[in-house]
Structure 1
Amino acid sequence: MLADLEELVVCESFSADHAAVARSAEVVGAIGARLLGAEPETIVIDGVTHLRWIFGTPRVLLLGHHDTVWPIGSLRSRPWSVADGIARGPGVLDMKAGLVQMFHALASIPCTQGVCVLVNGDEEVGSPTSRHLIKETAQECAATFVLEAAADEQGTLKTARKGISRYEVVVHGKAAHAGQEPHKGVNATIEAAHQVLAVAGIGAAMSAVGAAHPVLGTATVTPTLLSAGSARNTVPALARVSVDVRVPTPAAQDWIDELIQELTPRTPGARLEILGGSRRPPMEPESSADLFALAARIAAELGQEPLRGIAVGGASDGNHTAAAGCPTLDGLGAVGGGAHADSEYVELSQLIPRTRLLAELITRSVR
């Protein structure tokens, strides 16, 4: 497992570099073919390479991704290393160790009939080319196991995930000379400031409602990126405000979408254009409840530490499978920490226990 993990990590696979993702797919496919005894189906959509193995009529979907957030060349400053039971390197936790666990779990099962393995190459950028493929596959299955990393260093599984919406509020103003005729312009920066406060006001209202609200719950609305203007001596004619939305329920996603779409300009002559919308629907707790209970029983039978589950704010492709009506359990991958950070690491002592847990989950779920 360690040798396979090294092979995956040293093959960099930055999401934005489609050639690198294609090279990574070759490495992932070769490891999978060796362990599963079958070549994958290679699916290229808009230049992004995905892999799929299908054994019989699928009842269980094993879901992972081989792209990472790390730009090509990151290995020079964050090289693959193993010391004191810890493996480090770009993407080692998110989620190349999870892929290794997935392949070895399947290799340990006498019969893989009823299993589909799907490894996509664009999860880190929202799965724009693989989303339909994931949902289409999940609709035919009775369970999805997502090999994203555990929620924390204790191996906690992810039993719910917030949905994500992303917006861009584009402010259209009118340019003018900032020194001679500022009054003839429509200042998009000033209007953008109004919109930042308006969006923040929606977020504050969500916080005030609190977790007790039956629909909104712990929804968050956050203005993030801001840009405006073209020159220091010009009244800005254009500004952009990015908005990040996280929601626990589909109803909250719809409600907040209405509020965002209803934003109106405060500056005379300014015009707003609202771009974006839902990226991933929520993965609600009900979708994982039965599978988590099964996993907890298996962990106890294997003599492992009691399993815990938690709802998290980040999204994964498990959001799509749950929305497709397929029961989904996430966070079954590696145990470690520092995903997307320089400190990213995997605890090697947990590779085999997590692999055994997954193997037994698969076995019982395909019956």
Structure 2
Amino acid sequence: MDLLERFRDALPRVVDDIRTLVTCESPSDDLAALAASAKLTAELGTAYLGSEPEQIVLDGRPHLRWRLGDGPRRVLVLCHHDTVWPIGTLDNHPFAVADEVLRGPGCFDMKTGTVMAFHAIAALAETDGITVLVTGDEELGSPSSRQLIEEEARGCVAALVLESAGAAGALKTERKGVSLYQVTAVGRAAHAGLEPEKGVNASLELAFQLSAVAALGAPERGTTVTPTALQAGTTTNTVPAQGRFAVDVRARTVVEQQRVDTAIRALRPHLPGAELHVTGGPNRPPLEAVSSAELFERVCRLAAGQGLAEPAQVSVGGASDGNFTAGIGVPTLDGLGASGGGAHADDEHVLVDELPGRIALLAALLADLLTSALPDPAGAR
């Protein structure tokens, strides 16, 4: 039986496993819910992978790690079990399957991807060298798991990320890097009616800085610099003594990310007597196209061998844990999870009939990476 036929036969069980994970709500900010989700995910993974995971709790958040076999680590499979949905979401958006569309909070981002990984690995004749890491804080930016992810990736020939696919099932071969900043202006308060001239208006300082920061974007290079949340002042009759705004930066290359970082840190006050303070910086490095090129070409060859359509590829602005693995030089391919849509939205859904082919392709890629040579990942060591 070939892989595609195997997973077509297994589809009812795949859907049932997705139901198991989706109906265990696991918002990133609820430690008790995360603990319950980690326990359930560990039990499901143990049934398919044949061994229990190590549970690694960092800052109260549970992460699961399976190191399969005793040989050198070759492939890291990355998943996460936390979601953006608060407890009680299932009451309004229950798990459901109708007309080959599966729905439920976290189904697309990314509990289906975790189930896909378990089924794909269980189908392999040899699993020695695979590490499966299911983290519990990805939706927060992976504050506790980043170091763990990078440590597990070092020395691997590939990192495969089971985040959801792009439109029409496209694999994500490029992700922008993310930088986050807060720009704070400090002025001097004064009565707005009696003696405004004695004040230093932090709102006016911010107005100047907002324009300067927004001008750092470079759309022709794929770089966006977006001032977001803004706060200033205390009362309507007081010259604002302090204010601040947040900045979201997305960049396709490390060079661009560093250019913007240098420019933001070089901001200087515009008004006499004002002070300016910048905090924050790069949060995730870019997953540049060069990091995924060889793996994507490999997937296309394997798809043809499995009788599957050649996958498309897409560049996206959102980040994932794949940014971290690519950032330390490990070849990384993202978007290998479910086809569907609606991540973080009420219409979150998975296309059920696409699952067998996607799991088959993942299994073929894993088998190929365990048995055939890739360029030596010297940059990852």
TM beyond 0.5: yes
Q: Distance in 2 between matches of 1:164 and 1:199?
A: 15
Q: Distance in 1 between matches of 2:247 and 2:235?
A: 24
Deviation, 1:64, is 0.9
Query: What amino acid sits opposite 2:27 in the alignment?
Result: F
- Of 47, 54, 72 in structure 1, the residue corresponding to residue 67 of structure 2 is 54
> Secondary structure in 2 aligned to 1:202?
coil
1:90-101 equivalence runs, <5 A: 90-101=105-116
> Secondary structure in 2 aligned to 1:34?
helix
Q: Distance in 2 between matches of 1:172 and 1:75?
A: 45
Q: Distance in 2 between matches of 1:180 and 1:264?
A: 29
Aligned partner of 1:133 in structure 2 is 148
Aligned partner of 2:275 in structure 1 is 271
Q: Distance in 1 between matches of 2:192 and 2:31?
A: 43
1:269-308 equivalence runs, <5 A: 269-308=273-312
Q: Distance in 1 between matches of 2:292 and 2:261?
A: 26
- Of 322, 334, 352 in structure 2, the residue corresponding to residue 348 of structure 1 is 352
Q: Distance in 2 between matches of 1:171 and 1:19?
A: 39
Q: Distance in 1 between matches of 2:196 and 2:21?
A: 57
Aligned partner of 1:193 in structure 2 is 207
Aligned partner of 2:49 in structure 1 is 36
- Of 88, 97, 105 in structure 2, the residue corresponding to residue 82 of structure 1 is 97
Q: Distance in 2 between matches of 1:65 and 1:268?
A: 49
| Cα shift readout 1:299-331 (whole Å, capped 9, x = no counterpart) | 111111121112211111111111111111110
Aligned partner of 2:216 in structure 1 is 202
Q: Distance in 1 between matches of 2:234 and 2:113?
A: 45
| Cα shift readout 1:172-230 (whole Å, capped 9, x = no counterpart) | 12222333332222221121111111111222xx13xx2xxxxxx21111111111122
| Cα shift readout 1:40-66 (whole Å, capped 9, x = no counterpart) | 100011111111000123201000111
Distance 1:241 1:84, change over 3 A: same
> Secondary structure in 2 aligned to 1:82?
strand
**Structure 2 unaligned regions, length at least 5:** 1-13, 372-381
Query: What amino acid sits opposite 2:303 in the alignment?
Result: A
Aligned partner of 2:338 in structure 1 is 334
Aligned partner of 1:248 in structure 2 is 252
Deviation, 1:85, is 0.6
Q: Distance in 2 between matches of 1:113 and 1:39?
A: 15
How many equivalent pairs are there?
356
Deviation, 1:17, is 1.6
Aligned partner of 1:179 in structure 2 is 193
- Of 148, 157, 160 in structure 1, the residue corresponding to residue 171 of structure 2 is 157
TM-score, normalization: structure 2? 0.91
Q: Distance in 1 between matches of 2:234 and 2:20?
A: 46
Query: What amino acid sits opposite 2:212 in the alignment?
Result: A
Deviation, 1:266, is 1.4
Q: Distance in 2 between matches of 1:251 and 1:237?
A: 36
Query: What amino acid sits opposite 1:53 in the alignment?
Result: W
Does 226-235 or 289-298 show the bigger shift? 226-235
TM-score, normalization: structure 1? 0.94
**Structure 1 unaligned regions, length at least 5:** 211-216
> Secondary structure in 2 aligned to 1:119?
strand
| Cα shift readout 1:237-273 (whole Å, capped 9, x = no counterpart) | 2211111111111111111111101111212221111
Query: What amino acid sits opposite 1:181 in the alignment?
Result: E
Aligned partner of 1:169 in structure 2 is 183
Q: Distance in 2 between matches of 1:261 and 1:311?
A: 28
Q: Identity of aligned pairs, percent? A: 53
